[in-house]
Every structure is written in C-alpha cells, then in structure tokens.
Amino acid sequence: MPIKENVSDYPRPPQIELIMGQVSVAIGNEVIAKDHRYIRVCETFHPPTIYLDKDAFAIGTLHQTSGRVSYCEWKGLAEYWTVSKSDGSDARDRAGWSYPTPTKHFEGLANWIGLYPRLVDTCILEGEIVKPQPGSFYGGWVTSWTIGPFKGDPNHPEII
C-alpha cells in the first residue's frame, strides 16, 4: 500500500506525476483497460485523478464522443469518451475525458484518458478497488491511503 496522504496537503495548482504501478478498469467481468503505469493529478481537497494511456485500453472499448466539451482552468479543453466492452456492448457514455492539447504545465496528459470510477463497474489501483469521489461532477479515485474530506462530499459543504 502506498503511503497515506491527506488531500488537504495536495498543491494548487495541481501536481502531475507519472507513476509506475498497476491500474485496471472493468465493465462487468471484462477488463477494458490495464497498465503498469498511470498518471495521477493531485489537487487540494481532491482524491487523485487517474489517467491511463490510450494504448492501455482493449481494442473496441474506447469511443470518442461528439458534442459538449468542458474547460479546466489548469488543463484546458477536455473532450469526452464513451467506454464499452470490446464488442461495443454495455457502453458508458462520457465515462472518460482527455485533454488533446493541454496547457504547457499539463502537456504530459496528451493521449491519456481520465475515467470516472462511478461510471464503470470496477477500478483497481495498486491492487485496491477504488471508490468514486463523492458527488456527480469530479473524477477522483478514493483509496484507503487517501485521507479526506473531499471536495464534492455533501457532508462537507465548506469545501468548495
């Protein structure tokens, strides 16, 4: 298990790190993405947001979504992705996002996909099944070594 971290100690603007470690994502009983490395972005009062290389996704599981984009003051314009099982079934609309041309500080995120744990069935990070960040907006991955409270938690409205 990684060292326990309190999210109140994370920086703002966020920090980006390439981590050598195990990550996998499943829909139902099918692993749709798996890798031995990932990027984590750590920002004050957020559990880490995890990004996987596009090449970590199984063929047929990652589908670019047209329509609305969003903007992050730190990373730039985000595009969205639908993920599914490899046969295209059990699709999860806009379960992922990416920054095709991120800002200079976050150039390392180009070609990497962030996923909302709440929109897929299982995310495993370093051998542990993660929980989604509270609320319906953020994409953080909560683990036993991540100490809150977290932004988005209705029990902590003081964290905005």
Query: Which pLDDT score, from 0 to 100, does residue 15 have?
Result: 96
Burial of 55 (0-12, 13-18, 19+ CB in 10 A): exposed
Query: Which pLDDT score, from 0 to 100, does residue 160 have?
Result: 67
Q: Give the DSSP letter of residue 56.
A: G
Query: Which pLDDT score, from 0 to 100, does residue 157 have?
Result: 81
Residues of the chain with pLDDT under 50: none
Domain ranges for the chain, please list them. 5-147
Query: Which pLDDT score, from 0 to 100, does residue 2 have?
Result: 80
Instruction: Kindly state the tokens that stand for 73.
Output: 């003051």
In this structure, whether the domain defined by 5-147 belongs to CATH 2.170.150.40 is answered with: yes
Phi, psi of 100 (to 5 degrees): -65, -35
Query: Which pLDDT score, from 0 to 100, does residue 50 have?
Result: 99
